[in-house]
């Protein structure tokens, strides 16, 4: 008589389980805090503080201390030329010309021109937020910590992982 191998395996496992009554069963307590989440938070805080220090050092080296405005999100903006009193608003469409450098002053992109609708997070969330602080016809230096630039993934071209970026922006329209 043939016995199905799955039935035999199931019976065998049941016999083993029944014979081992002396194995203590312990319940796993669910911890209120997730240690992995805490480790990630600690690591992110460390990266943010390191970037903050690096940006502060860069600004001091350039002697921009009194010119740069610091925002709560870590972004720095210096509007060094203003040709209009009219501020850029949410959902305004503006033409920007910009260049991008790393904090080590390596050129990444030069003289790019984009039409941007403010509030759409283009080309990234940091520039989107910076534009809302600028005026039409202005020129500005914008320093973005990595979480406001391209973050952990970069731009899949020239901007690498967790890069602090310095933008030189001119508002054309």
The per-residue pLDDT for 14 is 53
The per-residue pLDDT for 29 is 61
Per DSSP bridges, beta strands 76-81 and 139-144 are antiparallel
Q: What is the DSSP letter of 132?
A: T
Q: Please, how many CA atoms are within 13 Å of residue 125, restricted to the half-sphere of its CB?
A: 10
Alpha-carbon distances of 91 from 7, 71, 88, rounded to whole Å: 67, 21, 9
**Whole-prediction pTM:** 0.76
Give 55-85 pLDDT, tens digit per residue. Answer: 999 999 999 999 999 999 999 999 999 999 9
Greatest Cα pair distance, the chain, in angstroms, is 95
Contacts of 67 (CB under 8 A, 6+ apart): 78, 80
CATH number of 39-171: 3.10.50.40
The confidence band for 166, taking pLDDT boundaries of 50, 70 and 90, is very high
Query: Residue range 5-32: average pLDDT?
Result: 54
Residue linked to tokens 């608003």 = 89
Query: Residue range 152-156: average pLDDT?
Result: 88
């Amino acid at each position: 008589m043939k016995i199905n191998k799955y039935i035999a395996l199931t019976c065998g496992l049941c016999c083993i389980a029944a014979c081992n009554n002396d194995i203590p069963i312990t319940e796993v307590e669910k911890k209120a805090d997730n240690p992995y989440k805490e480790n990630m938070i600690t690591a992110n805080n460390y990266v943010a503080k390191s970037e903050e220090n690096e940006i502060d050092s860069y600004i001091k080296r350039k002697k921009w201390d009194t010119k740069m405005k610091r925002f709560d999100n870590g972004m720095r903006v210096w509007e060094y030329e203003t040709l209009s009193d009219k501020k850029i608003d949410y959902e305004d469409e503006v033409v920007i010309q910009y260049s991008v450098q790393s904090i080590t002053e390596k050129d990444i992109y030069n003289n790019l021109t984009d039409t941007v609708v403010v509030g759409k997070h283009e080309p990234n969330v940091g520039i989107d937020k910076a534009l809302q602080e600028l005026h039409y016809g202005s020129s500005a230096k914008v320093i973005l910590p990595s979480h406001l630039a391209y973050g952990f993934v970069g731009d899949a071209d020239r901007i690498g992982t967790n890069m602090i970026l310095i933008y030189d922006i001119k508002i054309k329209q």
